[in-house]
Amino acid sequence: MKVTILGAAGFLGRKLAARLAQSGRLGGNDVAALTLFDAAMPASLPDAPFPVRCLQGDIGDPAAALPPGTDVVFHLAAVVSAQAEADYALGLRVNLHGALAVAEACRHLAEAGAKAPRVVFTSSVATFSGGQDAQLADDARQLPANSYGAQKAAAELLLADASRRGFLDLVSLRLPTVIIRPGRPNRAASSFFSAILREPLLGLPADLPVGDDFAAWVASPRRVVDWLVHAAALNTEGLGIDRGVNPPGLSVTVAHMLQALDGARPGAAALVRHAPDPDVAAIVGTWPAAFEPFRARTLGFSAHEPLADLVAAFIADDLDATRAERGVS
C-alpha cells in the first residue's frame, strides 16, 4: 500500500506518519511506501519499516507527491482559521485551490488506469454555525461564518463531486478543535484552547480571550490520529454521495479545561489571565459547542476519552519535546 500525507510537516501529519512507521500497516495492509509532502521539508522517519520520500512543494501542485499506484492520500494541508480570515487570498489558494489540485492529481491517476485513491480530507467544525447554544445533528446544514470554514466547506463539496465521478474515494472528517497542540502557538483563532493548558504546564502564563463558561467541541491528537487511520480503511459503499463525517469529539467549557489542568498540575490554572479579544471571540463564537455524531458512531469511529485523559496524554506524549523546543527549563 502506497500512502501520501499532504501537510506532513504539521503536528498532526508528524503524529500520523509516526503511527504508520510504528505499526507498518494501514487498514490491515502493509505500508509499502510513504510520501511526506509540505511547504516546509518534512522530517524523515529513519526507523520506518518501509521507504519514505520527503518532498517540499506547493499544495497547488501536489502531483509529485502522488506517484502511480497511490492507494491513500491524507490531505491535512491548510491555512488555519484566523490566518485565513486575515489573508483571504492565501486561505483561498491553500484551502480551496489546494484541494482542487489534489482532486486534479487524483483524476490524472484514475484516467491513467490506476485505482482511484482513498482521500481522507481534514475539514472542520468551522464549516458550521450555531454558536454556544447549538448541538448539531448529522444532517445539520453547513453555514460557515468565516472564510476558513467557507473554504473548507467548498472543498468538501468539490472533493465529494470528484469522488462521485470516480476520480477518488473521499472521506471528509470535520474535525473538532484539536487540543493540546504541542510546540508553539499558531495563528488559528482556536489556538488559545491549547495555550491555556500547554503554557501553564510549561510554567508560562497564557491569555484567555473568552469567558470561563465558553464551550467548545474538542478532540485530542491521539483520538484524531485514530480517526484518520480508521477513515483510510473505512468501507465507503454505504456513504453514498454524502462523504462528510462529524467525528465523536468532546464538548467542554473553559472552566472544565482549567479544572482538568489543576487536576494534573495543582495551581497551574492561576497562570491563565483573562484578556478579552473581540476578534477571536467573533470567530470561535460562531462554531457549534456540541454535536450528536450518530453517523460516526455507526461507522466505527472511536469515542473520545475524558478530558483528564486528554491532558495526561499531552504530558506523556508531548510536554518534554515542547519544553525542549521552546527552551523552557
In a domain, 11, yes or no: no
C-alpha cell at 249: 469529539
In a domain, 27, yes or no: no
In a domain, 8, yes or no: no
State in Å, rounded, how far the first CA of the chain is from the last one: 42
SS3 at position 120: strand
pTM: 0.96
In a domain, 190, yes or no: yes
CATH number at residue 113: 3.40.50.720
> Cα torsion for 52, 57, 59, 62, to the nearest 10°?
-60
Low-confidence ranges of the chain (pLDDT < 50): none
In a domain, 95, yes or no: yes
Cα separation of 66 and 62, whole Å?
Answer: 7
Cα separation of 261 and 252, whole Å?
Answer: 13
- Is the separation of the CB atoms in 159 and 119 below 8 Å? yes
Q: Which are the contacts of 76, defined by CB distance < 8 A and separation ≥ 6?
A: 5, 6, 7, 8, 10, 12, 13, 16, 122
Q: Which residues of 132-166 are buried (b: 16+ CB within 10 A; e: fewer)?
A: bebebeeebebebbbbbbbbbbbbbeebbebbeee
In this predicted model, what pLDDT tens digit does every residue of 136-183 receive, in sequence order? 999 999 999 999 999 999 999 999 999 999 999 999 999 999 999 999
In a domain, 282, yes or no: yes
Give the residue numbers annotated as catalytic, written as ranges: 148
Half-sphere exposure of 130 (CA within 13 A, CB side): 19
In a domain, 268, yes or no: yes
- The confidence score (pLDDT) of residue 290 equals 97
Cα separation of 29 and 274, whole Å?
Answer: 49
Q: Which are the contacts of 141, defined by CB distance < 8 A and separation ≥ 6?
A: none
- The confidence score (pLDDT) of residue 187 equals 82
Neighbours of 47 (CB within 10 A): 9
- Is the separation of the CB atoms in 77 and 186 below 8 Å? no
In a domain, 24, yes or no: no
- Count of domains for the chain: 1
- The confidence score (pLDDT) of residue 121 equals 98
- The confidence score (pLDDT) of residue 81 equals 87
- The confidence score (pLDDT) of residue 317 equals 96
Query: Domain of 145?
Result: 78-324
- Is the separation of the CB atoms in 181 and 164 below 8 Å? no
